[in-house]
Amino acid sequence: MMTILDDDCGQGSSEYILLFGAIIVVAILALVIYRSYFQKSSLNSAQDMEKVRSNTKGSGDSPSAPPVNNTTPPSLP
């Protein structure tokens, strides 16, 4: 006769639930701890893209020109 103590049927599922629960708790704790860093940062992708574009405009010829490869190919023996 099988008793409750010998029944392992749902043990794997409950271990996965505990594991995922622990991961969620750690993620929430990390968000709470680093919340000040997320609030201070100004995440504005449009402004960042404009900065990148303006910094690369004056670095060469026209912006549509491909980069020039000034390296010499290796000599063959």
Residue-wise pLDDT for 36-66, tens only, equals 777 776 667 777 788 888 888 765 555 566 6
Phi/psi class of residue 49: alpha, beta or left (left: φ > 0; alpha: ψ in -120 to 50)? alpha
**Token pair of 29 as six digits:** 């704790």
pLDDT at residue 67, as a whole number: 64
All residues at 6 or more sequence positions from 67 whose CB lies less than 8 Å from its CB, including other chains: 60
Instruction: Look up residue 10 and give its amino acid.
Output: G
pLDDT over threshold 90, residue 20: yes
Q: DSSP code of 7?
A: -
Q: Distances in Å between the alpha carbon of 14 and those of 4, 9, 24?
A: 16, 10, 15
